[in-house]
């Protein structure tokens, strides 16, 4: 039986191989003659076939064998890669996962697919099937051998010793099939002066019992460079000597040294695959450590014991190092997602009849694995929008004097403590006037509202801004954009959108590097402590004295000329008691805008380990998670995106106040 971890490794590897196959096929479409790509595709197929067979997936292996056979024509140069070939090959590739989990379609359908593929590759000519000429049945004296003892004579070829052939093992194995009476003929051994000790000069003979056929003997010599004859003794017809393996004297035909591949790729560093759960467990442990470390530091500070302080400092450093190392372990390159996207873009471009060149930059950029998984859907959404609504038809592009093939770029890069994923198209861009019109019609904004470009673009992220058909009308792209935004912000990221009419649109997803531990700003509200993700914090100001009374003032703050709505957490959270005389306003921003959060005081900044809230608190909107502080108590992590929405909602309900302020 195959052990679980091995089976898991097999599945993981297969997934990688399928991704690689996807990428290879799609790249091949762009550069159909690239021999390296053809080799890679071929190798992927080959490995899938071999692994499938090794792990007992005979049907899969058989199917991929057919696939590979068809593709062999490309490798041998007999056929060319065409879009049709790629299309069929991708469909064939899609059959593979089903063959693993038993969800496969019918064998007939697969056979038909392979036939189509072969046909596409044969240019009308018949496809050579990989038929092998069966070895002719061995000559022999079966009858005599059944009844008579036989004599076996064998000699090792000149190079046998060099190749690692061991006469002792061969003799031992012959004994196991019943051979007796071994004689070593040493006549052929030359004088010492001429003796090449690496060549075996001995010829052996032995008696083999009746019934032992050539097959059994061939089996013994399967891995030996030997010449042997097996003849029946006594009144038997004379047999011709018959080498089991063609005698090849490699010493006389020194192998030619082959050139090293022209473009050597550095061999990959050794890697270890680790199940994700183990990484999660490690991350949890490190999380605990960070908490205990905070507690230790607190105790050390209180004690003022120099030795304890020094130790605590060391622990802090070590814990930080361990945390960073652990986070690195969880990082995977965004490449793991890209195959899927190439596929999507390619198919969608075909479907829409819009020629698109899909460019990927920064595939090696690494992101937390949980984040990567959760980013897939939003990116798919954005790519789909880019092709569907952003990119024009080839005809329209020509009219606009643009290159008829549109370019859609997916790029990923590290910028500071963020990873920025950009989806860019060179399509028709978005028209602010039309979006505005639409938003007014929907009652999202007042007709006289004054909004700048970015505020207008932000409208497309409003829930229910549009349905697909309506979006196409306004040449915008609102399909599920509110969902995308929510997802991204749920991951503590933010979205930025820029668009130029006629030039195209770019959407940038700014994501934190990791999900598990963040820098938090710890604040105090009526004796309760809350954490705010530092990434969202823009600045901290003191609440102006004239704004302290909630009953008499509008909840807007003039931050260097910009009017920012603010939210009093004491009120929002139904806190008891009186606010202190001086309060602070933490200005947080996200794609939805800015809001000031009024708190009693700032406590500190510190690393916080994010713990998720249970289902019982799933409905609590303004909280995104919780963390355990140094003293063991729980502090809640505020959901800045929700607070911004809340702040703006509040500001909206006091609409005239905004007008007055502006």
Partner 1 sequence: MSQGQNQRAPTRPQTMVTFSIGPQRLAVPATSLLEVMDPLPVTRVPGAGRLVPGVVNVRGSVVPFADLGAALGLPRGGDVANHRFVVVEVDVGGDLSTVVIHADAVHEVASLHPEAILTASASLSPWPAEFLLGLYKSGDGFVILPDLVQVFSTLAKKPSTPSSNGTTI
Partner 2 sequence: MKKTILIVDDSPSIRRMVAMTLGEIGYDVIEATDGRDGLAKALKGPCDGIITDQNMPNMDGLTFIREFRQQTVSRGVPIIVLSTDSDDTLRQRAREAGAIGWMVKPFDQAKLTAVLRKVIG
Q: What's the Cα-to-Cα distance from 226 to each of 23, 111, 179, 395, 438, rounded to whole Å?
A: 46, 43, 17, 71, 86
Q: Which of 300, 419, 628, 641 binds partner 1 (CB under 8 A)?
A: 628
Q: Which of 35, 102, 136, 261 binds partner 2 (CB under 8 A)?
A: 261
621 in contact with partner 1 (CB under 8 A): yes
- Supply the DSSP symbol for 193: G
Looking at beta carbons only, is 218 or 572 nearer to partner 2? 218
3-state SS assignment for residue 162:
coil
In the bound complex, what is the minimum distance in angstroms from residue 574's beta carbon to partner 1?
6
10 in contact with partner 2 (CB under 8 A): yes
519 in contact with partner 1 (CB under 8 A): no
Residue 441 has a CB neighbour count (10 Å cut-off) of: 12
3-state SS assignment for residue 97:
helix
In the bound complex, what is the minimum distance in angstroms from residue 240's beta carbon to partner 2?
21
* Dihedral sign for Cα atoms in the order 283, 285, 287, 290: negative
173 in contact with partner 2 (CB under 8 A): yes
19 in contact with partner 2 (CB under 8 A): no
* Dihedral sign for Cα atoms in the order 467, 473, 474, 476: positive
9 binds, among partner 2, partner 1, none (CB under 5 to 8 A by kind): partner 2
Looking at beta carbons only, is 20 or 346 nearer to partner 2? 20
Return the exposure string of 78-105: e unless at least 16 CB atoms fall within 10 Å of the residue's CB, then b.
ebebeeebbbbbbebbebbeebbeeebe
633 in contact with partner 1 (CB under 8 A): yes
Q: Determine contact, residues 70/117, Cβ cutoff 8 Å.
A: yes
Distance CA 179, CA 210 (A): 10
Greatest extent of the chain over all pairs of C-alpha atoms, in Å: 125
Q: Which positions from 491 through 530 interact with partner 2, judged by CB under 8 A?
A: none
Looking at beta carbons only, is 375 or 629 nearer to partner 1? 629
131 in contact with partner 2 (CB under 8 A): no
In the chain the first and final C-alpha atoms are separated, in Å, by 74
Q: What's the Cα-to-Cα distance from 372 to each of 204, 274, 409, rounded to whole Å?
A: 66, 17, 18
Instruction: Choose the stretch contacting partner 1; rule: CB under 8 A; options: 105-113, 264-272, 437-445, 611-619.
Output: 611-619
The owner of tokens 């003979």 is: 205
9 in contact with partner 2 (CB under 8 A): yes
Q: What's the Cα-to-Cα distance from 534 to each of 175, 248, 494, rounded to whole Å?
A: 78, 73, 13
Instruction: Choose the stretch contacting partner 2; rule: CB under 8 A; options: 105-113, 148-156, 167-175, 547-555.
Output: 167-175
* Dihedral sign for Cα atoms in the order 423, 428, 432, 438: negative
161 binds, among partner 2, partner 1, none (CB under 5 to 8 A by kind): partner 2
16 in contact with partner 1 (CB under 8 A): no
Looking at beta carbons only, is 168 or 364 nearer to partner 2? 168
Distance CA 452, CA 474 (A): 18
Q: SS3 for 581-633, per residue? A: CCCEEEEEEECCEEEEEEECEEEEEEEEECECCCHHHCCCCCEEEEEECCCCC
635 in contact with partner 1 (CB under 8 A): yes
Q: 434 — phi, psi (to 5°)? A: -70, -40
In the bound complex, what is the minimum distance in angstroms from residue 621's beta carbon to partner 1?
7
Looking at beta carbons only, is 255 or 632 nearer to partner 1? 632
Angle subtended at Cα 579 by Cα 574 and Cα 580, rounded to the nearest 5 degrees: 155
Looking at beta carbons only, is 10 or 457 nearer to partner 2? 10
Distance CA 640, CA 478 (A): 23
Distance CA 626, CA 634 (A): 7
Q: Which of 51, 326, 622, 640 binds partner 2 (CB under 8 A)?
A: 51
583 in contact with partner 2 (CB under 8 A): no
562 in contact with partner 1 (CB under 8 A): no
103 in contact with partner 2 (CB under 8 A): no
In the bound complex, what is the minimum distance in angstroms from residue 214's beta carbon to partner 2?
17
Structure tokens given for 201: 């000069």
13 in contact with partner 2 (CB under 8 A): yes
531 in contact with partner 1 (CB under 8 A): no
Q: Which positions from 204 through 243 interact with partner 2, judged by CB under 8 A?
A: 220, 222-225
395 in contact with partner 2 (CB under 8 A): no
137 in contact with partner 2 (CB under 8 A): no
Instruction: Choose the stretch contacting partner 2; rule: CB under 8 A; options: 52-60, 204-212, 228-236, 367-375.
Output: 52-60
**CA neighbor of 419 nearest in space, from 350, 465, 368:** 368
Looking at beta carbons only, is 47 or 153 nearer to partner 2? 47
Looking at beta carbons only, is 176 or 614 nearer to partner 1? 614
Q: Which of 17, 484, 636, 641 binds partner 1 (CB under 8 A)?
A: 636
DSSP of 259-320, one letter per residue?
A: PPPSSPPPPPPP-----HHHHHHHHHHHHHHHHHHHHHHHHHHHHT-HHHHHHHHHHHHHHH
Q: Which positions from 275 through 294 interact with partner 1, judged by CB under 8 A?
A: 288, 291
Q: Which of 112, 274, 400, 634 binds partner 1 (CB under 8 A)?
A: 634
626 in contact with partner 1 (CB under 8 A): yes
Q: Which of 107, 112, 139, 248 binds partner 2 (CB under 8 A)?
A: 248
Q: Determine contact, residues 516/530, Cβ cutoff 8 Å.
A: no
618 in contact with partner 1 (CB under 8 A): yes
Residue 269 has a CB neighbour count (10 Å cut-off) of: 5
In the bound complex, what is the minimum distance in angstroms from residue 286's beta carbon to partner 1?
12
Q: Determine contact, residues 540/644, Cβ cutoff 8 Å.
A: no
Site string (566-605) toward partner 1, x via CB under 8 A: ------xxx-------------------------------
Looking at beta carbons only, is 177 or 483 nearer to partner 2? 177
Pairing of strands 634-638, 528-533: parallel
Distance CA 619, CA 465 (A): 24
Q: Which helix (H) or strand (E) holds 364?
A: none
The count of residues interacting with partner 2 (CB under 8 A) is: 52
7 in contact with partner 1 (CB under 8 A): no
Residues that bind partner 1 (CB under 8 A): 288, 291, 528, 572-574, 611-623, 626-628, 632-636
Residues that bind partner 2 (CB under 8 A): 2-3, 6, 9-10, 13, 40, 42-43, 46-47, 49-51, 53-56, 61, 132, 159, 161-166, 168-169, 173, 198, 220, 222-225, 245-246, 248, 250, 253, 255-258, 260-261, 264-265, 267-268, 273
């Amino acid at each position: 039986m195959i052990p679980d971890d091995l089976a898991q490794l097999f599945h993981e590897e297969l997934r990688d191989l399928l991704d690689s196959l996807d990428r290879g096929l799609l790249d091949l479409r762009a550069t159909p003659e690239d021999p390296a790509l053809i080799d890679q595709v071929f190798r992927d197929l080959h490995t899938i076939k071999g692994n499938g067979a090794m792990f007992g997936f005979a049907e899969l292996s058989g199917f991929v064998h057919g696939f590979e056979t068809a593709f062999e024509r490309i490798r041998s140069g007999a056929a060319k890669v065409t879009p049709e070939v790629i299309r069929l090959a991708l469909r064939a590739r899609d059959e593979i996962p089903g063959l693993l989990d038993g969800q496969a379609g019918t064998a007939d359908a697969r056979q038909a697919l392979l036939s189509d593929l072969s046909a596409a590759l044969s240019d009308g000519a018949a496809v050579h099937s990989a038929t092998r000429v069966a070895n002719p049945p061995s000559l022999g004296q079966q009858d005599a051998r059944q009844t008579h003892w036989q004599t076996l004579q064998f000699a090792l070829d000149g190079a046998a010793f060099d190749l690692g052939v061991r006469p002792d093992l061969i003799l031992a194995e012959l004994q196991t099939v019943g051979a007796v009476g071994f004689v070593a003929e040493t006549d052929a051994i030359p004088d010492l002066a001429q003796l090449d000790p690496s060549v075996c000069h001995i010829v052996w003979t032995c008696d083999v019992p009746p019934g032992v056929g050539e097959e059994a003997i061939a089996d013994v010599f399967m891995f030996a460079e030997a010449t042997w004859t097996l003849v029946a003794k006594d009144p038997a017809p004379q047999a011709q000597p018959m080498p089991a393996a063609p005698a090849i004297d490699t010493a006389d035909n020194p192998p030619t040294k082959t050139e090293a591949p022209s473009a050597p790729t550095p061999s990959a560093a050794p890697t270890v695959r680790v199940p994700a759960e183990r990484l999660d467990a490690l991350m949890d442990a490190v999380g605990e450590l960070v908490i205990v470390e905070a507690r230790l530091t607190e105790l050390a500070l209180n004690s003022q014991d120099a030795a304890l302080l020094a130790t605590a400092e060391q622990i802090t450093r070590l814990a930080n190092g361990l945390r960073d190392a652990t986070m690195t372990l969880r990082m995977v390159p965004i490449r793991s997602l890209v195959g899927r996207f190439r596929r999507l873009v390619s198919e969608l471009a075909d479907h829409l009849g819009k020629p698109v060149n899909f460019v990927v930059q920064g595939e090696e950029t690494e992101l937390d694995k949980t984040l990567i998984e959760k980013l897939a859907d939003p990116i798919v959404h954005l790519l789909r929008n880019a092709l569907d609504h952003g990119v024009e038809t080839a005809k329209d592009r020509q009219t606009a004097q643009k290159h008829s093939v549109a370019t859609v770029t997916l790029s990923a890069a590290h910028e500071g403590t963020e990873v920025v994923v950009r989806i860019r198209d060179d399509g028709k861009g978005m028209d602010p006037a039309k979006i505005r019109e639409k938003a007014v019609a929907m009652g999202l904004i007042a007709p006289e509202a004054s909004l700048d470009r970015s505020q207008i673009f932000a409208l497309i992220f409003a829930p229910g801004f549009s349905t697909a058909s309506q979006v196409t009308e306004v040449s915008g792209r609102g399909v599920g954009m509110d969902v995308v935004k929510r997802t991204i912000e749920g991951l503590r990221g933010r979205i930025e959108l820029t668009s130029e009419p006629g030039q195209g649109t770019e959407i940038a997803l700014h994501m934190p590097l990791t999900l598990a531990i963040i820098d938090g700003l710890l604040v105090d509200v009526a004796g309760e402590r809350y954490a705010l993700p530092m990434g969202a914090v823009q600045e901290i100001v003191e609440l102006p004295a004239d704004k302290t009374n909630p009953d008499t003032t509008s909840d807007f703050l003039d931050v260097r000329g910009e009017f920012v709505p603010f939210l009093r957490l004491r009120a929002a959270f139904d806190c008891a008691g009186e606010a202190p005389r001086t309060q602070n306003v933490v200005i947080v921003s996200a794609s939805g805008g800015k809001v000031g959060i009024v708190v009693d005081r700032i406590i500190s900044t510190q690393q916080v380990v994010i713990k998720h809230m249970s289902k019982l608190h799933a409905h609590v909107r303004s909280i995104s998670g919780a963390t355990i502080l140094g003293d063991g108590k729980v502090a809640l992590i505020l959901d800045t995106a929700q607070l911004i929405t809340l702040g703006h909602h509040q500001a909206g309900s006091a609409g005239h106040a905004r007008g007055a302020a502006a």
